[in-house]
Structure 1
């Protein structure tokens, strides 16, 4: 069977339809969209997690506001912002596009303004994951050189990556190989002199590299593409919306193969691969009487040392000497997930949106906030319950928080153990100072299985071939990567849970990571008991495995894309033609745009319940929705009705199967 196909080039010709911004009436669409936004009342009535409802009512009683209160207070949200037609790039504005004023002061129309804003969001997402990834890459390099006292625990990952990079491993130690790998990852991240991107060339499918090369969207490096994205969207620069979208795709590739995959390689090399294990989940797992420490954010270097040291006999005994039963760790967002699936001892409680609810229990003595998705509002809740908040990264300070962390240059990374000890001592001190604080813990907890990866799947099944064969036979209808942050526009966690129900009923295998994984863990989907929710054929194939495979934190989209690639290659079919889908129903930030773009670039359709801010431009909206079908093989589908969206995913998977002759 010939799976080759022809790719359309970016069309800069006069024949390409140019939108007349003055005729672009987006106001009606935006007004209808706003009607779908959830309220706090909706969340209280419809959230699938009873612990969320209990904590919302408790915090309301205590007079503590949450993200849901503030979302209601912001209504009605700005229609220009929702449509992406507010431009603040220069100080001749701000400009907004309306029928009365179809162009900004400089002459930029809706297409240009929307495209520029979208590109800047993608650049920001690349910078965010790239920034936290750089820390891991530096730590790997410093550990290899003996500059920091961190063991390189992922020996198998180091050896596999060295082989993929073509590094001669003979007569080289793991430390030497790790250092060479770190240098490659850092060079790929920050290259300014044009040259081959080694991580991309080593791990991306050759068919995709050919597609991207023909489209001229191969990146130089994330540093360069972010730099260039800000350059070309500056005042008086690129005014061709189509060319701006081309740069968006280029930046998306840089995000996927350096900021995500490169960071993942560094972390797996340092801390080891995920281990399939079982963990308690949800707020009910909090325990009184312990020095309770929450780990919140995305950077694992200092967190790993805090957890390791906190679980030592020395600090457990110190906690007991101060009247505690010991020290326990709890995970908020991705730092907790990263620690949990590698070496245990961290109980996942909530994603970023629910962080205030966890703080509101009064059970936390110390809150460690590193980078990303740490909202400034947690300081207000922390003050209400006398919880000490510590920041650990110069990129993410919080007014009123104490700071014990790495400096801007990471010149004190060799003090990781000392910083961790200071933080643990502060936690014990905080415990002794807040014994009178009332504690309320809703009695909801469950067990979840975590730690799935391509390496584990190969070990469990012998290879990915059994998955490929089950997919072809129809025992597995398709595979969906369901991820993304949460958004109060949607009833909290409802779309994720109910969309998953429909997928499982239709024998779709679900992969998950990051914020979207929390409701699936909390409500039993990451457990073999959830097999009762699946269709018969999927249940028969999985046997004792859960129907939702938890792959880790948000960076672990790299694990999902690696599985997609491995199964496609085993099937001798291009990724774009496989019955795959990417879903981020409740996405809410720049990294969410980048994550979806990463899978779209592979040729995999993306599905969402939240619109990207493009409705002010028909051209950009069409490009994002359907314009990449010819050039990349993928589309973006948005439907605020998550039930309809789920059925659309199932129907499209069936169409892909039919095209392969698998129905």
Structure 2
């Protein structure tokens, strides 16, 4: 077996120039910065008129938003953009220039960029893993009977037990739930080296062989994150190739535990999503109700809050306080998770637009848990007297009230009492802020939600039906169009316009998380959007939207399940099929991991935001094209999202051509 470092070196396209191999990245970074839009361009070009109205409204009021702060940060630091700033010790911070091609310790640009990427991936794996752990713990405690919470995903648990090889004979669903939770928690935190149960049970065998040959099979999320931080500490790993090997290991740990493992725990607790409809966008805000927004990524307490607030007893309490009832809204992924599991939770915005939602003045209570909750929401909430409650020891906000699980999760059994306190605060806040003026842009649509591989198999009579449509060209390809929003790109424009190109060319689109908000708000997640597709996709889907909203960002696991299932029915490896991962506006560490997870499956990823690697030609080339022979995939970046869409279309056609399929 060829040594992994030799493989990496062969595909790194070593380039030596200048002093000690210094690569002058300044021209590329300066050209990139010139593509960043300002707030005025956002106002002129963002595709959602409700966003435009709110931006103008808050501007007139003198309320600062993310777009104002992005403008004030310009020009952003070229060393940070290029990834050549090192702060891992206190002999620095060091930045790599032509004058100083090495840091104080001797690390060059390649090592510094690689270290920074590994640390970012470790943070992304920890982010999804930490919030997934909460659901895993709850599943275990519910199964063991120490947490009074219904286990609603019996079908999911039994299906997972079959894949894991768990003997189900004579066992209650609670016992099986606890056994599944133990496997998930072990994969999360294993310290004694051993097989990663979820990866070995769920991943395609072809991929497992590839990963084993590259020596990147993970031990556990905890171990790989721990090791990632270890080898990037002062004076440890000085070989950029070895650092990038650990980067790939972290990506696998993220994919099969932080993402899939967390998804299994959630679906086991709450059941699978069901296809349904939901009102969408700011026009769906209701005056006269106790309006409660749930914001973040942890579904555990959110689910209990929604159940409590939707109960007849609390609806009556709200009416006794002068309201028409209690209405829930979703911001970011907590909202999406609640949306497809509980009817009547209206999704409003992704994280970047959260200040705009608060600026309507219509929200009485803002429930914030973890991740993508910007500290700035406190300033906007203060302007409109909205009460903010935090619900996690991991994420506090100065000035917010705190009703939360503790650091040890020793009070999980108090979940109902916490939910009661929080919903009660919503009613009290409604009573205290009746004089606050409300501004609601009149834009709303209806979106279809709740799609999954299980839905597709049932609706189309098996995934082989989709595989046949893919082969005969009614479906040109399937893409997962996801990711965050990023002010380096005009807000939500790239996602919408890339979708336009793909749909016109008969590409079936899967979506989740922040990128799904513009697709829902602008009508893509509706049967009416079939009018925008090519004839082949329209005739195949007939009564199903051409964009399938699969849930929150964790539900990338649903997309990978569909990709894997269709691949199995087609008889081809994932890497050979006309598939793509598309994340035009990604903006954080979880986005790095999500892209990497699909790349490791053998799918190309496409972006309009560069990773911070431009300061190292070696690392950049390895990430973008050097993995082609190793993994069967590339990372393609183009700040012109229309050119990116054209590239995706052409690459899908090339995949079909290689398979001998007539598109």
Q: Which position in structure 2 is the counterpart of 1:212?
A: 211
The separation in 2 between residues aligned to 1:205 and 1:14, in whole angstroms, is 27
Q: Which position in structure 2 is the counterpart of 1:342?
A: 341
> Over residues 628-647 of structure 1, what are the superposed CA-to-partner deviations in whole Å (9 max), with x where a residue is unaligned?
00100000000000000000
Q: Which position in structure 2 is the counterpart of 1:522?
A: 521
The separation in 1 between residues aligned to 2:129 and 2:479, in whole angstroms, is 25
Q: Which position in structure 2 is the counterpart of 1:368?
A: 367
The separation in 1 between residues aligned to 2:357 and 2:296, in whole angstroms, is 14
* TM-score (norm. length: structure 1): 0.98
State which of 5, 10, 34 in structure 2 corresponds to 1:10: 5
Q: Which position in structure 2 is the counterpart of 1:232?
A: 231
Deviation for aligned residue 1:121 = 0.1
The separation in 2 between residues aligned to 1:173 and 1:603, in whole angstroms, is 39
Alignment RMSD: 1.1
Contact 2:8 2:626 (8 Å CA) reproduced: no
The separation in 1 between residues aligned to 2:453 and 2:505, in whole angstroms, is 24
Unaligned runs of 5+ in 2: none
Q: Which position in structure 1 is the counterpart of 2:462?
A: 463
Contact 1:127 1:222 (8 Å CA) reproduced: yes
The separation in 2 between residues aligned to 1:10 and 1:464, in whole angstroms, is 39
Map residues 175-574 of structure 1 onto 2, 5 A cutoff: 175-574=174-573
Contact 1:22 1:100 (8 Å CA) reproduced: no
Contact 1:7 1:632 (8 Å CA) reproduced: no
Aligned residue-pair number:
658
Deviation for aligned residue 1:10 = 3.2
The separation in 2 between residues aligned to 1:208 and 1:342, in whole angstroms, is 32
> Over residues 160-185 of structure 1, what are the superposed CA-to-partner deviations in whole Å (9 max), with x where a residue is unaligned?
00111101111001000000000000
Q: Which position in structure 2 is the counterpart of 1:126?
A: 125
- Secondary structure of 2:425's counterpart equals helix
The separation in 1 between residues aligned to 2:21 and 2:399, in whole angstroms, is 47
- Whether 1:81 and 2:45 are equivalent positions in the alignment is no
Deviation for aligned residue 1:9 = 3.6
The separation in 2 between residues aligned to 1:300 and 1:12, in whole angstroms, is 42
- Secondary structure of 2:5's counterpart equals coil
Q: Which position in structure 2 is the counterpart of 1:24?
A: 23
> Over residues 492-546 of structure 1, what are the superposed CA-to-partner deviations in whole Å (9 max), with x where a residue is unaligned?
0000000000000000000000000000000000000000110111101010110
Please say which of residues 410-419 and 334-343 is displaced more in the overlay. Answer: 334-343
- Secondary structure of 1:415's counterpart equals helix
- Secondary structure of 2:229's counterpart equals helix
Deviation for aligned residue 1:14 = 8.2
> Over residues 136-176 of structure 1, what are the superposed CA-to-partner deviations in whole Å (9 max), with x where a residue is unaligned?
00000010111111100001001000111101111001000
Contact 1:22 1:101 (8 Å CA) reproduced: no
- Secondary structure of 1:279's counterpart equals strand
Unaligned runs of 5+ in 1: 1-5
The separation in 1 between residues aligned to 2:6 and 2:307, in whole angstroms, is 54
Contact 1:282 1:348 (8 Å CA) reproduced: yes
Deviation for aligned residue 1:19 = 4.4
The separation in 1 between residues aligned to 2:523 and 2:376, in whole angstroms, is 29
The separation in 1 between residues aligned to 2:517 and 2:9, in whole angstroms, is 48
> Over residues 438-462 of structure 1, what are the superposed CA-to-partner deviations in whole Å (9 max), with x where a residue is unaligned?
0000000000000000111111111
> Over residues 350-382 of structure 1, what are the superposed CA-to-partner deviations in whole Å (9 max), with x where a residue is unaligned?
000000000000000000000000000000000
Deviation for aligned residue 1:260 = 0.3
Deviation for aligned residue 1:586 = 0.2
Deviation for aligned residue 1:345 = 2.0
The separation in 1 between residues aligned to 2:197 and 2:342, in whole angstroms, is 30
Deviation for aligned residue 1:343 = 2.0
The separation in 2 between residues aligned to 1:129 and 1:301, in whole angstroms, is 14
Contact 1:8 1:630 (8 Å CA) reproduced: no
Q: After TM superposition, where is structure 1 displaced by more than 4 Å over at least 4 residues in a row? A: 12-16, 18-22
Contact 1:7 1:631 (8 Å CA) reproduced: no
Map residues 59-138 of structure 1 onto 2, 5 A cutoff: 59-138=58-137
The separation in 2 between residues aligned to 1:261 and 1:344, in whole angstroms, is 25
- Secondary structure of 1:10's counterpart equals helix
The separation in 2 between residues aligned to 1:267 and 1:435, in whole angstroms, is 37
Contact 1:275 1:451 (8 Å CA) reproduced: yes
The separation in 1 between residues aligned to 2:424 and 2:358, in whole angstroms, is 20
Deviation for aligned residue 1:8 = 8.3
> Over residues 85-121 of structure 1, what are the superposed CA-to-partner deviations in whole Å (9 max), with x where a residue is unaligned?
0000000011000000000000000000000000000
Distance 1:269 1:442, change over 3 A: same
* TM-score (norm. length: structure 2): 0.98
